[in-house]
Structure 1
């Protein structure tokens, strides 16, 4: 939105206190519309608050399609609603609890420490201290990522999972990384799942090795692990964590990856005459995790959205991810046997700051003088200056 609309949105958000709104999950429906008249601009503004327990991205599209059919006068052509209980029944009759436990014990049984990037441990946050940054992956890097994925017979999602594991491994000091990955649920949800409302998405842990194994082996192992996880996409996170050596309430992980297939096209609200006079001004989404990477697979290109606590910096994490993807592609192109531990996640600018700027500590001093001679000279120059601090005790140079 331009500045004027941005101001109005800010006022609307403040008046509705959207950031502190909570939905009562005991009462349907899990959505709320708040609206107000913007008399100065002769229009109405509205906010839609929804919870993922009822509406994910696919369900929002379904709902918007139904609204469009009503606006066109074609509500009678809408199909019957798909009951969520059909999906529940299929899940209950699917993979057994014992099979879920066997899979997650094999993957997580030896892990007794959580993966906490930057030491972030609060996985029950309200999103109030989160900042967001978006960036597009360059056309050339996107092309190379897809090329390498095809040549190895893996999905592009596998490369992104490995690159994200690289980033998390470096900022948490771990060679076996665990993070949450969002699974769609609708792909194996049965007939009508693409039109149903309800909780389909699930977050489950995935463990990725980023130590001494080769880049090629790391990609193949990540792809195999991700493929295996899809067969258990309906397991509960609580069950998965109990299969690890990390004892609750300590979280098994505090970072999330949401890889989603999106469409790079103008917004339907703007493209269709049905929505004439109705304009979408923007939206926000939040999770309870302190560090979230969302990857939008746009068919050819990719876009990243990072949500991170302010003190870490969302743009910083996005730059790490792009550097990790670049180093991964370079290695796969010419040196697939390179160890994953030798790849970098640092952008050139930050690497220079760490190695050069922070180490610019040169100081001139009389090199023929002894250490105690230098100290004696300092005592003569500033006898009352503080020389030593220990707790509450202080000594100046004369006293020392």
Structure 2
């Protein structure tokens, strides 16, 4: 399993993850190792480049199964210390198997790795491209912070699958008219939102500037514990005109969604409750936190029905 560490994160957070996950091997670059304890083996892509080139390039023999861990990604820690979420290989595979029924991803698609690889939205971006033999464009940090530069990259690389948080997309949409006036067009098939609540009214600029046939917009809700995405909602013009809140839509086909009250009874339509997610996308649990895992990953409340 891999544990992604973003060097842009505070050293205190990185040290915490390194110790909490019991990481023994760190793949990095030599200038990023000052804070790493001496008992962690370091493989530096720059310093050890010759040794790496001497390694065989044949496919390694392994005994990995669908039930083995694929990765551990840590939560933001906004409600306490960051928690490592354990995701198995099968969780990731079924995410794409369940959603490709309507996306129809292929080897001709071009994706961008726009988000930090320590943020679980990156799992969708990286493996969505590579699983189908597509092309993955790794977006340099400075370009990800410039809507104009990123828009140009989308045009130059002929990107077809764009994944964005709504706040990032708002800035991108505001640059659209300038590029459209120059006759430069995007090749997007889908714009997929995730990572935060979507204010659909903020998409009015995009809908006003583009015909609906250019790219389909989809809002996907999910958290790390449910393997990136749990629901989807196709966004249409009426949503922009009439929706007053973020619409997360329907569950992915192999997941179940319930809205329950404090006693875990289904609430009537229109009554506020808490969202429960079940199905094959659920994580194995939290790394080294059996008590919290038992609290959050509960037995199915309706398994006998």
**Structure having the larger proportion of residues in helix:** 1
Is the shorter-chain TM-score for this pair beyond 0.5, marking a shared fold? Answer: no
TM-score range, shorter chain: under 0.3
Higher RCO (CA 8 Å, separation ≥ 6 residues)? 1
TM-score between both structures, scaled by the size of structure 1: 0.22
TM-score between both structures, scaled by the size of structure 2: 0.27
